[in-house]
Amino acid sequence: MRQNNDVRIGASAAWPICLGYIPIGFAFGVLARKAGLTPLQIGMMSVFVFAGSSQFIAVSMLADGASAIAIILTTFMVNLRHLLMSSALAVFFKGEDRKRLSLFAYGVTDESFAVNLARLRDGDWNLNRSLVVNQMANAAWIASTVIGGFGGQFIPEKAFGIDYALIAMFICLLVFQLRGRKYVITAIIAGILAVIFSLLIPGNSYIILASVIAATLGLIFKKYLT
């Protein structure tokens, strides 16, 4: 009974992520199909990797004839940012069962991280509900990438502004995080640094670089200036 409850509550938190994944998943499926992957291969990549931006990059590298080693190394760099997210989540899962934590780790994405963290911080959240969020997002991603592989070209692009779903979600999740001056200052520094670094450095390492520097400066600000 309690488990059913966790599924229901988890699902109610997961739907904005699922909605946001649908257009990106379609787009990925279409591109991967054009690059020569079958819908089965597309689905398998989504199951094994479950990380949107690195899957896009992998497919474009495959189309360019890149080696497996080059693709795997790039994937590692692109997804290294999850190290920070899992560290922030670990604070809330002290003493939890490690098997379940390992399953949970599989589903840590930018989006599920932000949704789960906001709820964990409110205190009415647990590992079960977090797992439901991750796995629902995972299912939406796998399904939409495979459907895209079968014929996403028939879905009109930019229908109903759905391309904006993830940006809107990040805006709201950022608002949830701005709970005091130190968070606002950290976010402003991170935003400015991310823009500068994204212009200067190829790839997406600007995310991890800007976040680490901004959080460190935010901490210094808190320690010495207040």
Partner 1 sequence: MKDYLILIAGMGFVTFLPRWFPLFFLSKREIPKLLIEWLDLIPAAILSALLIPALVVGGEPKIMAFKPELLASIPTFLFALKTKSLGGTVVVGMALYWLIGKGLLPFFGL
**Which listed residue (26, 33, 81, 129) binds partner 1 by CB under 8 A?**
81
**Which listed residue (11, 93, 150, 155) binds partner 1 by CB under 8 A?**
93
Question: Does the protein bind partner 1 through residue 91 (CB under 8 A)?
Answer: yes
Question: Does the protein bind partner 1 through residue 101 (CB under 8 A)?
Answer: yes
Question: Does the protein bind partner 1 through residue 19 (CB under 8 A)?
Answer: yes
Taking only Cα atoms into account, the Rg of the chain, rounded to an integer number of angstroms, comes to: 18
Residues 124-183, interacting with partner 1 (CB under 8 A): 158, 160-165, 167-178, 182-183
> Interacting stretch for partner 1, rule CB under 8 A, among 1-9, 82-90, 135-143, 145-153?
82-90
Closer by beta carbon to partner 1, 1 or else 95: 95
Question: What is the contact mask toward partner 1 in residues 25 to 64, using x (rule: CB under 8 A)?
Answer: ----------------x--xx--xxxx--x---x------
Closer by beta carbon to partner 1, 143 or else 213: 213
**Which listed residue (3, 102, 123, 156) binds partner 1 by CB under 8 A?**
102
